[in-house]
Amino acid sequence: MSAVAEQVRIRPLNELDIARIVSIDERLTGVYRPEVWERRIMYYLRRDPDASQVAELGGKVVGFMLADIRGGEFGLEETGGWIERFGVDPDFQGRSLGRKLFEAVVVHLKRQGAATVRTLVEKSDSELASFLRAVGFKDAPLAALEMRIS
């Protein structure tokens, strides 16, 4: 194992991680939006404090995955896990951190009784879809519908 690989640590998200996630998101999207992330992260921590995970490399947070567990939503009776936002700092992509984050999320979701993990991805976003398929996601027998109301 290389020295870099040895320094990887996957652990549950906490609110002290907000600033690093804001900066990873800014690097990925070019948009600085601290209020959005504070709201979103506090929401996930309240819903399920152990589901969401971060990846540290040498003590610095370089990736995150927000997840939670839901039951009975959208008429899906079984308990299921959802992953929503995730990202790895561009400088540290391609080192299996995304896969490790996902594996840690799945361990937690299984412990909570989830039989399935779901997510939604924009059809045009081939990068995210390729990652999700590489870690095992398949097309779901569900249709995502929407309607503009303003």
Ligand X SMILES: CC(C)(COP(=O)(O)OP(=O)(O)OC[C@H]1O[C@@H](n2cnc3c(N)ncnc32)[C@H](O)[C@@H]1OP(=O)(O)O)[C@@H](O)C(=O)NCCC(=O)NCCS
Q: What residue ranges bind ligand X (CB under 6 A)?
A: 25, 28-29, 85-88, 93-99, 127-128, 130-131, 134-135
Instruction: State which residue, 2 or 150, has the beta carbon closest to ligand X.
Output: 2
Q: Which two three-digit tokens encode residue 108? A: 């937690």
| Residue 18 beta carbon to ligand X: minimum distance, rounded to whole angstroms | 14
- With respect to ligand X, which residue has the nearer C-beta, 112 or 121? 121
In the chain, which ranges are E strands? 8-12, 53-57, 60-71, 79-88, 116-118
Query: Alpha-carbon distance 100 to 105, whole Å?
Result: 9
CB nearer ligand X, residue 12 or residue 79? 12
> For residues 2-23, b (16+ Cβ closer than 10 Å) or e, as one string?
eeeeeebebebbeeebbebbbe
CB of 121 to ligand X, least distance (A): 10
Nearest residue to ligand X, scored by beta-carbon proximity: 98
Nearer to ligand X, 85 or 118 (CB): 85
Supply the minimum distance, in Å, between the C-beta of residue 54 and ligand X: 12
Measured CA to CA in angstroms, residue 126 lies from 62, 74, 121, 132 at distances of 22, 26, 9, 10
Shortest Å, Cβ 59 to ligand X: 18
